[in-house]
């Protein structure tokens, strides 16, 4: 019963959630099938990590001309944007 774990996935590059998913797959269907399933899932989801956030792009497009004109200054640490009731709430980011 002593089987050596042979992994086709480099676990050192995975996030905490991805490691949890890999371990859950291994536990439910076995190491070999779990590794194959996880590798397929990872390749199908790797393209999505490169997608840009369209809302962030719109915010950048609207604010950048103001920053260049000197009308708006964004300090280090930045701001937190939230939606309120019928308004946008802008607060300095507290670390």
62 shares a domain with 36:
no
CB under 8 Å to 80, separation ≥6 — which residues?
90, 91, 92, 93
What's the number of domains the chain is made of? 2
- Residues 34-59: tens digit of each pLDDT: 999 999 988 888 766 567 788 889 98
41 shares a domain with 17:
yes
42 belongs to a structural domain: yes
Mean pLDDT, the chain, whole residue set: 85
88 shares a domain with 64:
yes
65 belongs to a structural domain: yes
Structure tokens at 95: 């670390």
Q: Which residue range forms the structural domain that includes residue 78?
A: 54-92
pTM of the model: 0.45
Rounded CA gap, 9 and 35, in Å? 7
15 shares a domain with 44:
yes
28 belongs to a structural domain: yes
């Amino acid at each position: 019963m002593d089987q050596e774990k042979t992994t086709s996935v480099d676990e050192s590059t995975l996030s905490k959630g991805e490691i949890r998913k890999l371990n859950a797959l291994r536990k439910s269907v076995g190491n070999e099938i779990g590794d194959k399933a996880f590798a397929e899932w990872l390749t199908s989801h790797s393209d999505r990590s490169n997608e840009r956030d369209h809302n962030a792009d719109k915010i950048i497009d609207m604010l950048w001309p103001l920053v260049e004109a000197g009308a708006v200054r964004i300090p280090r640490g930045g701001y937190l944007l939230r939606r309120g009731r019928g308004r946008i709430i802008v607060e300095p980011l507290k670390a």
